[in-house]
Every structure is written in C-alpha cells, then in structure tokens.
Amino acid sequence: MRRNLWIDRDRLGVEGTSYGGQLSAWLITQTNLFKAAIPAAAIINLISYNYMTYYNQYEQMEWGLFPHQGNMMDILWERSALKHVAKVHTPTMLIHGENDNDVPIAEAEQYYIALKDVDVESVMVRYPREGHGLREPNHVVDSIDRSIAWYRKHFPSGR
C-alpha cells in the first residue's frame, strides 16, 4: 500500500474459495486490515477437516505424517483459523455448498458459531445441492449479489 497510493485502506476486503477461502479465514485472524471478508468453501479446522473429507490423507501427503503421529495435532491446530478466532474483528460472510464433500459444510458451521461467540458480525450462506463451488446459475448470481451488498455495507460510501 505504501508503493501503490491508489489503494484505499478503508475499502479493503478479502475473499476466496477453497484454499483462497482458507487463506481469507486465516488472514482475518492475523490482521484487522480488512473491512469485510467472504471465505467460501474454506477449511477452518485442519483437524476436523481430516476426519470429515474424502481427502483424509491430505495432511499425510502435505506433512508426511498422519494427524495422530508425532506432534501433528498441535501443528494442525496452531495453523487452523478456528484456534485464533478470538482475534477476529472483521465482519465475515461465509459461503458454502451443503453437499461439499471436498470441504464439508461443518467447517463453515464451526467458524460461524465461533465468530458469533466472539461477537463478530457474521452471516452464513448455505447453498442447497451445491458441492465445492457454486454451479447453479441462480446460486452464482445470488452469491455475487450478496458479496456486493456485503462490501457496500462495510465499506465507507461516498467514493
């Protein structure tokens, strides 16, 4: 932002889907820079994810160990957004497909409950019949409309 003075610090948002959603959920636990966030289909808790997904060997492939080996549970928990939720102040809209087998919707549900527990303004949007990403045209349009409205609500107006 120091090099690109055109960036408006008061109108920064963060969003992404899948790993981008995971990163978005993580970033708001580490900084208050963003005025609004929209993580979609995000892994929130690396431990619960391992035991609910079709990709239950993800951690073993990534780390070389299963979660129950060595100190992997501690490492996975430390790197999970859920562990750090008490540091979040960014209004967050979670988006998830109800039939997501890659990242089960329980990941979003955990974060939504935790965000409410720490008094962060949050909304959870669940799309029926959708998997890992939105495919139905009416759901795609709805998610775009909701995202624009979310940013308009949380970014200062008049610019």
Total domains, the chain: 1
Contact in structure between 104 and 52 (CB atoms under 8 Å): yes
Asked whether residue 1 is assigned to any structural domain, the reply reads: no
Residues in the chain: 159
The reply to whether 4 falls in a domain is no
pLDDT recorded at residue 62? 78
Do residues 88 and 60 touch, judged by C-beta distance below 8 A?
no
pLDDT tens track for 65-100 = 877 878 889 999 999 999 999 999 999 999 999 999
Answer yes or no: is 118 within a domain.
yes
R_g of the chain, CA atoms, integer Å? 16
Query: In the chain, what is the straight-line distance between the N-terminal and C-terminal CA atoms, in Å?
Result: 18
Active site residue 143: no
Q: Which of 24, 96, 122, 132 is catalytic?
A: 132
pLDDT at residue number 94: 98
Q: What is the mean pLDDT of each run of 10 residues along the chain (159 residues)?
A: 89 96 98 97 94 77 79 93 98 98 97 98 98 97 98 85
pLDDT at residue 80 in the model: 97
Decide if 88 is inside a domain.
yes
Asked if the structure places residue 90 within a domain, the reply is: yes
Is 159 part of a structural domain of the chain? no
Return the pLDDT at 58.
72
Query: Has residue 51 been placed in a domain?
Result: yes
Structural domain of residue 100, as residue ranges?
A: 9-153
CATH number, position 83: 3.40.50.1820
Do 127 and 101 contact (CB within 8 A), yes or no? no
Question: Going edge to edge, which strands form the sheet with 36-40?
Answer: 13-17, 36-40, 92-97, 122-127
In a domain, 91, yes or no: yes
Out of 18, 48, 84, 89, the active site residue is: 18
Q: Which two tokens stand for residue 16?
A: 């992404």
- Active site annotation includes 147: no
